[in-house]
């Protein structure tokens, strides 16, 4: 709670907005219910809900224990579900709408080795968001998802690239040539939750500098070919006759 209060004070001093810190373990549905009740009591029903619960670490899947699997899926999938369902039920009772936004990852769609619990749980979050976009929009709720590529933060990179070995490789496979920034993600999130995006519902927005499309393209490694090499290749192709 000390960390939450200090963070709330920092946000409040920088923005001038009132911030109320509530301690909650999203894996515990009773704590979630109590937190939502306190939220409504202090600030009223929310009109924006950001589902950003995440837990992850790299590991060969054969080294994972059942507890490791359960820890990640409890935070990412169950935690997101408990918060979404509790707030959604309260909004339905109050006949109020809201914008829900989930933060997942590009490998929720493609899958990825060495982060299998996270990939599985994030895919579940995306399926839930699309399902509720179809079912609960009649109550005035919208559900969208952002799939970020690599954004360098201490918390993420200390677990996903603790030695710093893979950062250059990450940048090499991003067509934009750099990692994303927190500010860019915040701007996209603010837009999707705003009235400017009131007709965007059930969307999954890739935010990865083009990483996923580069990885998935059969011939995209040809971007390494130089102009001179292309001249040679073109000449060889033109000489080809028949099949």
Backbone angles phi, psi at 117, to 5 degrees: -60, -40
CA-based max dimension of the chain: 77
Which pTM value belongs to this model?
0.89
**Residue 34, SS3 per DSSP:** helix
pLDDT value of residue 52: 94
pLDDT tens digits for range 152-199: 887 777 766 777 778 888 898 899 999 999 999 999 999 999 999 999
Phi and psi at 72, nearest 5°, equal -70, -50
Query: Rounded to whole angstroms, how far apart are CA atoms 229 and 125?
Result: 45
- Mean model confidence pLDDT for the chain: 94
The pLDDT of residue 152 is 83
- What mean pLDDT do residues 205-232 have? 93
103 pLDDT higher than 90: yes
Q: Which whole number is the average pLDDT over 16-42? A: 96
Q: What is the DSSP string of 160-225?
A: HSTTSTTHHHHHHT-TTSS-B-HHHHHHHHHHHHSGGGTT--S-EEEESTTHHHHHH-TTGGGGG-
Packing angle, helices 79-94 and 116-135, rounded to 10 = 10
Average pLDDT value for residue range 85-93:
98
- Would you call 143 helix, strand, or coil by DSSP? strand
Active site positions, annotated: 107
Per-residue pLDDT tens over the stretch 138-162: 999 999 999 999 998 877 777 667 7
The secondary element (H helix, E strand) that includes residue 124 is helix 116-135
**Strand, helix or coil for residue 131:** helix
Type and span of the H or E element at 103 = strand 98-103
């Amino acid at each position: 709670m000390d960390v939450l209060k200090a963070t709330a004070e920092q946000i409040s001093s920088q923005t001038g907005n009132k911030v109320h810190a509530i301690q909650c373990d999203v894996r515990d549905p009773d704590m979630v219910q109590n937190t939502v009740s306190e939220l409504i009591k202090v600030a009223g029903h929310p009109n924006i809900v950001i589902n950003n619960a995440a837990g992850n670490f790299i590991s060969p899947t054969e080294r994972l224990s059942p507890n490791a699997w359960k820890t990640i899926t409890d935070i990412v999938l169950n935690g997101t579900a408990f918060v979404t369902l509790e707030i959604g039920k309260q909004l339905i009772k109050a006949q109020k709408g809201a914008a829900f936004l989930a933060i997942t990852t590009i490998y929720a769609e493609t899958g990825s080795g060495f982060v299998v619990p996270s990939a599985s749980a994030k895919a579940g979050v995306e399926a839930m968001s699309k399902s509720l976009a179809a079912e609960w929009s009649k109550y005035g709720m919208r559900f969208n998802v952002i799939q970020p590529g690599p954004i360098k933060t201490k918390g993420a990179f200390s677990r996903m690239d603790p030695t710093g070995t893979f950062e250059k490789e990450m940048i090499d496979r991003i067509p934009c040539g750099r990692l994303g920034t927190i500010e860019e993600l915040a701007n996209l999130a603010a837009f999707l939750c705003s009235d400017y995006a009131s007709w965007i519902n059930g969307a999954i927005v890739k935010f990865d500098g083009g990483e996923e499309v580069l990885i998935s393209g059969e011939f995209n490694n040809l971007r390494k070919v130089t102009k001179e090499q292309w001249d040679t290749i073109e000449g060889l192709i033109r000489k080809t006759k028949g099949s």
